[in-house]
């Protein structure tokens, strides 16, 4: 009872800190309807926000997933630029985390083991011998509570959930809220809030798969990418960081200047062979970081002219080049998602940080809160 009461107070304080229920005079059109039902009969909600230009985002309380994101190209044509499904069930059975919030711990933890306060914890090992994105029943597979909210930036949707002590092996009860706001200038702001009753580890991220040409429209190898990072964290054969922080200079991992993703992806480099391409964490420039929002990456599709800027206050960015997409998953509008047909740019703390003491801290102490923000900002270039 004490834990539940404390958690309710934490949840209330989060609402009072900046998120209020939507009023009748909402500045954007928001439609809430039923996305479908799960096999156990539970209904799944869908939230559609359309801005004044006609661009829109669809969200669901299943996994706090981004279902679709329609933004204009250089001719003003709207296309959906994220992968996903037309119904709820595949998000529980066939999804490689399409559009989901992943946690408690985004990315990998070596052999699902870590120590905290002198105690050893064993997590689910759902990625060969390692723990990935929260385990077998991570945040991506939960039905979150959803609310339409008004913020200083505009109308949004706030999803919240409670993770109990022991969920997937994690210690401590945790309250999590994720708020999506889609603005009139086609920026998607994602605000994450976590509060712990007892000490735990937390690393949340958004796992949308982007193709700026439109979902299912060719590969992303012609997309141009820039990452504002001079270093990355190399991995072993199981994609766990070795603990080293290496320079990107004179390697295929140098995206300090914009370049096509396909330019170096087939280079003979041990790290590319381990990941089957890019599936690594970049160390964002600390001189620009200092806990403040900064530009982490810029992605551009030359054909459509769409550009996506990624801004964050996080120290790391995982770039995944869709190496395990193989056409076996059929998504929205019956599209088979082909090899490297999309990519993910996941703002985060570094993988396996609980086992790497020199990596940025991911421990959240009981009674503390952690807030982080990421923005995906869309525009066009000619």
Asked if pLDDT for residue 184 goes beyond 50, the answer is: yes
Distance in angstroms (rounded) separating the CA atoms of residues 149 and 336:
35
φ and ψ at residue 105, rounded to 5 degrees:
-120, 110
Of 150, 168, 189, 346, catalytic = 346
What average pLDDT does range 19-48 have in this prediction?
78
Q: What is the pLDDT of residues 56-84, one digit of tens each?
A: 999 999 999 999 999 999 999 999 999 99
To the question of whether residue 73 is assigned a binding role by annotation, the answer is no
To the question of whether residue 263 is assigned a binding role by annotation, the answer is no
User: What is the separation of C-alpha 247 from the centre of its chain, rounded to a whole number of angstroms?
Assistant: 25
Is the bond preceding residue 34 a cis peptide, omega within 30 degrees? Answer: no
What average pLDDT does range 95-100 have in this prediction?
98
Cα 310–92–48 angle (5° rounding)?
50
Domains of the chain in sequence order:
2-380 (2.70.98.10)
User: What is the separation of C-alpha 55 from the centre of its chain, rounded to a whole number of angstroms?
Assistant: 21
pLDDT of residue 291: 67
pLDDT of residue 28: 75
Q: What is the pLDDT of residues 271-280, one digit of tens each?
A: 999 999 999 9
Contact 322, 209 (CB under 8 A): yes
SS (H, E, C) 24-93: CCCCCEEEEEEEEECCCCCEEEEEEEECCCCCEEEEECECCEEEEEEEECCCCCEEECECCCCCCCHHHH
CA distances from 290 to 112, 148, 293 (A): 30, 32, 9
Q: What is the pLDDT of residues 338-349, one digit of tens each?
A: 999 999 999 999
Question: Does residue 207 have an active-site annotation?
Answer: yes
To the question of whether residue 133 is assigned a binding role by annotation, the answer is no
Of 207, 223, 294, 349, catalytic = 207
Residue 119: in which H helix or E strand, if any?
strand 119-122
To the question of whether residue 207 is assigned a binding role by annotation, the answer is yes
Distance in angstroms (rounded) separating the CA atoms of residues 106 and 247:
24
For 178, residues 6+ apart whose C-beta sits below 8 A from its C-beta are 64, 101, 144, 158, 159, 160, 190, 191, 192, 193, 204
């Amino acid at each position: 009872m004490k834990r539940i009461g404390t958690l309710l107070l934490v949840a209330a304080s989060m609402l009072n800190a900046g998120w209020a229920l939507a009023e009748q005079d909402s500045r954007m059109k928001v439609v809430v309807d039923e996305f479908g039902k799960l096999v156990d009969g539970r209904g799944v909600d869908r939230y559609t926000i359309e801005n004044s230009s006609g661009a829109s985002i669809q969200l669901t309380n299943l996994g706090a997933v981004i279902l679709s994101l329609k933004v204009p190209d250089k001719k003003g044509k709207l296309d959906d630029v994220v992968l996903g499904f037309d119904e709820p069930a595949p998000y529980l059975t066939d999804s490689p985390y399409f559009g989901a919030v992943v946690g408690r711990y985004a990315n990998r933890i070596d052999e699902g083991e870590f120590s905290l306060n002198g105690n050893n914890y064993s997590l689910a090992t759902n990625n060969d011998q390692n723990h990935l994105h929260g385990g077998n029943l991570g945040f991506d597979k939960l039905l979150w509570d959803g609310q339409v909210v008004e913020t200083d930036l505009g109308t949004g949707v706030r999803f919240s959930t409670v993770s109990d002590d022991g969920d997937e092996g994690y210690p401590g009860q945790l309250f999590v809220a994720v708020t999506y706001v889609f603005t009139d200038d086609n920026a998607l702001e994602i605000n994450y809030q976590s509060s712990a009753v007892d000490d735990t580890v937390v690393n949340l991220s958004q796992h949308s798969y982007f193709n700026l040409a439109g979902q299912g429209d060719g590969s992303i190898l012609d997309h141009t990418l820039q990452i504002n990072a001079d270093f990355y964290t190399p991995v072993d054969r199981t994609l766990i960081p070795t603990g080293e922080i290496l320079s990107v200079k004179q390697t295929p991992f140098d995206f300090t200047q914009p370049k096509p993703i396909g330019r170096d992806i087939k280079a003979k480099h041990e790290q590319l062979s381990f990941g089957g391409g890019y599936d690594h964490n970049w160390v964002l420039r600390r001189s620009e970081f200092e806990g403040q929002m900064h530009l982490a990456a810029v992605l551009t599709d030359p054909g459509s002219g769409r550009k996506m800027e990624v801004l964050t206050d996080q120290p790391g960015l995982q770039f995944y080049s869709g190496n395990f997409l193989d056409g076996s998953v059929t998504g929205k509008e019956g599209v088979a998602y082909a090899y490297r047909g999309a990519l993910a740019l996941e703002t985060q703390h570094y993988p396996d940080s609980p086992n790497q003491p020199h990596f940025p801290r991911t421990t959240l102490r009981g009674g503390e809160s952690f807030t982080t923000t990421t923005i995906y900002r869309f525009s066009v270039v000619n």
